[in-house]
Structure 1
């Protein structure tokens, strides 16, 4: 992707939810890019911040959530954070589209599938009547729905789960987006239909040069569809690598645990391997390693120093991990000191707390005064 402007560039994204009792740091400093025609996976357990990352990109963070000052989401070089709702609406659905986990949440049960696709076409392409109908038929055919001309007159409940998900993908493609965000689109489907949906997405990507951000907790799905992978834990990206490197040479203990827990990886064992414990709620600034309480490799410094991403790649691969075990070849003291220095340089205000770069001011919100909230 060298020399090519990324379709999406997320830099230091921080999305927090301000409740009466605490501040939940759902996304806490995530940075990644997605290039033209590239599929980037976001993986992690439930509660890691994957879906909030997607909703932040789409401008769908509801109150009391806020995208904090200093966060950057650039679509083809254009900053999205701070845009008004009207400006965001022109991008959402048109340039950037999203496929949600449960297609029933995206389809209105009282309107036909065809009506809903035509509405998206009318809003973003300005087509109506026979033109919109023909395009709706073409879109259903593009997602391999048979007898599309009849199917557009049917209601969502008349479609199977896999067919509904195909219809939702057709709606997302109605406006010919450059970036498609898929939030666990195959989780509710059986294995056979899941494979068909993944194949469909790859075919559509090849035909349309789509950039895809694919969110899942299923490492097997990521292995099949992604070019690059970002592993999230407690709001942070703890490892990022090309998909082959991640599976062949995982560096972060959390990534290693996820891969070890894949069913079928150890067929001779009676029980599935698991990662003990649960994903913590990130309600405090990151002053240590959030994975340390569950980590088999943890040592004393993990409870006192917050790890930051460092290069762990070989042969010039773009592979980074946020772990005090790296960089390899250094002593424990050298590694800990490097992470401490890098962390101090990157500190910033979250939720009104003070650090080296501030004087204790209240957290800023988006430039339009909306608190970074878009619907």
Structure 2
């Protein structure tokens, strides 16, 4: 589950060249919430891929749209929310955005599992933990009776809950926070999912228990071949558990890279700010570094850089041109950023013009073709050696 274990370090591009299909593929996902006063573009045209056996991170501040992305994938967006037509979510090659309630329930049972930040939201307080695991086994795998009890014990032991047979008869309130999260993971494993979406699963836990849960997920992934989408605001956790990272801001993905590359060479000013704000990065300073301001509510179509009001590198065009995801340089094909400073080999005016053309080709940043990905700098004008801003 660590960035080192995959061994390829090349991210989506190398995997695509190898002909491997993602187990989960999201294209141009747009989820809105309509109110009497405005429409919130909570998820605004994001793409991401998750391949077999890897862990992909989705990171950003609260309000960036991470959890809405997860709920959109799981079919859990309720009124007044809506996943817009044209959004594509494919699981093992099959489009799932058109699923009905019964199909989504089946998918959640055996295809994609989800672990929430608060385990109590996934556990019924009036039933024992054992009853809830056995119910999952009955519904999803048809296992009942003594066989279900034995399997439930094995699942609790798999998530390292001691004295598992006795703990089956206890209620959620009798478990500590870390133990409840382990019980939720056991329930997910009862469904035998291929993809696990972890939405801030360690945020409410102290650092010791957090480390234990992360280690548990790492072991389970290795044993069962799970593919994990890990959602968090904690860059330290991202560094520890992921192979590739998607940085999200105000409904959009603003940077993508393999984990080691992102931490060694962040390119988007927002990513740089997140890394600068990690406690301990500047131990000699009296105050923690922060990103000034707050994540805006994306209540209108993106016609400019949403990060510009908080960006220390912003210039005039950032308020008028929407940045598209482009390769940051000619050498790093698997590292993209949505910033007018890139592609790096272009002058700033050339880069701005490049983004304008890409946005125009996608309908002013709107409905991009499903197959469209980050454009390469080679598709546009070559740099003339002029100075960048």
TM-score normalised by L of structure 2: 0.89
Unaligned runs of 5+ in 1: 358-375
Q: Distance in 1 between matches of 2:329 and 2:139?
A: 45
Partner of 2:143: 127
Q: Choose the corresponding residue for 1:308, options 305, 317, 324.
A: 324
Hey, what does 1:323 align to over in structure 2?
339
Unaligned runs of 5+ residues in structure 2 are: 1-14, 370-389
1:16 correspondence with 2:32: yes
> What is the RMSD computed on CA atoms of the aligned residues?
1.5
Aligned partners of 1:348 and 1:356 also within 8 Å = no
Post-superposition offset of 1:346: 1.1
The Cα shift of 1:313 comes to 5.2
SS of aligned partner of 2:360: helix
Q: For residue 93 of structure 1, give the secondary structure of its aligned residue in structure 2.
A: helix
Deviations, residues 313-363 of structure 1 (Å, cap 9, x unaligned): 56444110000000012111100000001011112797xxxx999xxxxxx
Which 4+ residue blocks in structure 1 deviate beyond 3 angstroms?
313-317
User: Which one of 111, 125, 134 corresponds to residue 95 of structure 1?
Assistant: 111
- Deviations 1:219-273 (CA, angstroms, capped at 9, x unpaired): 0000000000000000000000000000000000000000000000001000000
* Cα gap change, 1:147 to 1:317, in 2 (>3 Å): farther
Counterpart of 2:354 in structure 1 is 338
CA distance in 1, matches of 2:368, 2:337: 25
Q: Does 1:5 align with 2:38?
A: no
1:372 corresponds in structure 2 to: none
1:331-370 alignment to 2 at 5 Å? Answer: 331-347=347-363
For the pair 1:72 / 2:95, whether they are aligned, the reply is no
What TM-score results when the alignment is normalised by the length of structure 1?
0.92
Q: Work out which of the residue numbers 214, 220, 242 in structure 2 matches 1:226.
A: 242
Matches of residues 110-121 of structure 1 in structure 2 within 5 Å? 110-121=126-137
Match of 1:108 among 113, 124, 129: 124
Rounded to whole Å, the distance in 2 between the matches of 1:174 and 1:5 is 26
Alignment match, 1:281:
297
State the distance in 1 between where 2:224 and 2:303 align: 44
Taking a change above 3 Å as real, the CA distance of residues 120 and 314 of structure 1, as seen in their structure-2 partners, is: farther
Residues 44-83 of structure 1: matches in 2 within 5 Å? 44-83=60-99
> Shift of the alpha carbon at 1:88?
1.4
Q: Write out per-residue CA displacement over residues 113-159 of structure 1, whole angstroms, 9 at most, x where no aligned residue.
A: 00011111111101111111111111100000011011111000111
In the alignment, the residues of structure 2 paired with residue 143 and residue 313 of structure 1 have an alpha-carbon distance, to the nearest angstrom, of 43
Q: Would you say the 8 A contact 2:305–2:319 is kept in 1?
A: yes
1 CA distance for matches of 2:118 and 2:270? 27
Structure-2 residue corresponding to 1:152: 168
The answer to whether the 8 A contact 2:330-2:345 is kept is no
Structure 1 SS opposite 2:154? helix
Deviations 1:72-124 (A, max 9, x none): 00001000111111111111131100000000111111100000111111111
8 Å contact kept, 2:328–2:344 = yes
2:57 paired residue number: 41
